[in-house]
Amino acid sequence: MNLRLRLTLLLTSIFVITLGVGAGYVMKNARAAVTDELLSSLDLASSLIGLMVAQEASETSAPDPVRLARQLTGLGHPRHLHIELSSSPEALVLALPAAGGNRARAPDWFIRTIEPDRLDLLRSVRVPNSGLHVIVRADPAAEISEVWSETRLMLGVLVAFGVVAVALVSLVVGRALRPLYAVAAALERVERGEYASRVAGSGSSEVDAIAERFNHMASVLERSHREMTALATRSLAIQEEERRNLAHELHDEMGQSISAIKALAVSIGQRAPAADGTLATSAATIANVCTDVYDRVRHMMMRLRPIILDELGLVTALQNMIDDWNGHHEETFCRFDVTGRVPSLSPETSINLFRIVQEALTNIARHARATEAAIVLAVEPLASGRAKLRLRISDNGVGFDVDRIARGLGLVGIAERARAIGGTLSLASRAGAGTQFELDLILEPESPA
């Protein structure tokens, strides 16, 4: 659960609790107000009726029910009060219903909550010398309806205020957390190797402190990455220089020596007496051994420094290497495709691309157990005279878990060479689903076409 949602839920919970407490307090006050209003009206009406009955009793010894009923009718329909004149519960002389009673306006739960006790809402006035009683009963319906209207408005205002407050707080929290989202996005970019990512200040001292630390970390990583790239480039350049020197030494020294030994062996075989078959056979054996050793040395020289790469370029060198690889690995066929026109590349770029393909083919032969492999070299023109070179190497082998085998299978060497030439390497593999390398490299316009 993210921080914004947690804060919003916390504030909503506080608002709901506050609303509940406030609603309880409002309901308590509403019940007290209804009770006070009804009791006040009931006491006032009872006093007036008592005076009326006393006056009637003083004027006549036997009060007339009809006259008394006429006097009571003159009171009209009192608000909140129900007046009855009766000689017994079964003999009702007059009934005056309360005015304004409409229980339907307030919901039942509200009425049940604030309605006073019915036993407290009744007064009885005895008419002397008549057996008559005037019963005054308070009817809370109208008062409850009025209180409900006021309470509903108040609760509505509270709910509206709470909703607006939560929405505003959520908006403010979202805006306040936006810089943190920017920091999280920048961390993801750094994780992908985009060490130039920076976070702008937001005006908040706390967030700005985080942004400052992040920017410092990113700049340190960027500097370290540049140093590592320069170191890897220098290391690979030294390796290639040593390979080239060793290849030249093998060609100039050992190659010539083997050729001289072979020439001497052939000469000895030709000059050996016909009767001396052993000498001729030994000379032929030496010549054959020299041929075999020379082939091995030539193969070593090709692996140390492919001369064809310097003479005919990357595409021809790759095609020659892949054809030779197919000839030695009959269980797997590797297809090579070129899309677009490959420009002339720098010696460093050419040899590193060649070594990446060479290492990948070695991995396929040793670990993939694949029946098919594909190498695609594609060049796509970009704006400003630049071009994008993409090298894709894939197979249909057993694959592997990238997270578990992050530094094995020659991946470190491939990654170092990709970094040395400024390329971006991506690897996708899953157990049982093969493996795919992709190297993207931006070629600057100064590269000759």
Distances (CA, A) of 285 to 255, 276, 296, 303, 421: 18, 15, 17, 27, 48
10 Å Cβ neighbour count for 344?
11
Of 376, 354, 433, the closest CA to residue 362 belongs to 354
Q: How many CA atoms lie within 13 A of 47 on its CB side?
A: 6
Rounded to an integer, the average pLDDT of 162-180 is: 82
pLDDT exceeds cutoff 70 at 444: yes
Confidence of residue 104 (pLDDT cuts 50, 70, 90): very low
pTM: 0.52
Q: Residue 75's pLDDT is what?
A: 67
Determine what percent of the chain is predicted with pLDDT higher than 70: 86
Tell me the domain boundaries of the chain.
Answer: 3-165, 311-449
Helix (H) or strand (E) run with residue 336 in it: strand 333-339
10 Å Cβ neighbour count for 119?
6
Confidence of residue 136 (pLDDT cuts 50, 70, 90): confident
Choose between 390 and 433: higher pLDDT. 390
Residue carrying the six token digits 């937001």: 202
3-state secondary structure of 32: helix
Give the pLDDT confidence of 296-336 residue by residue, as tens digits: 887 787 777 788 888 889 999 999 999 999 999 999 999 99
Q: Residue 316's pLDDT is what?
A: 93
Rounded to an integer, the average pLDDT of 160-166 is: 85
Q: What is the CATH number of domain 311-449?
A: 3.30.565.10
Q: How is residue 200 annotated by DSSP?
A: -
Rounded to an integer, the average pLDDT of 21-50 is: 81
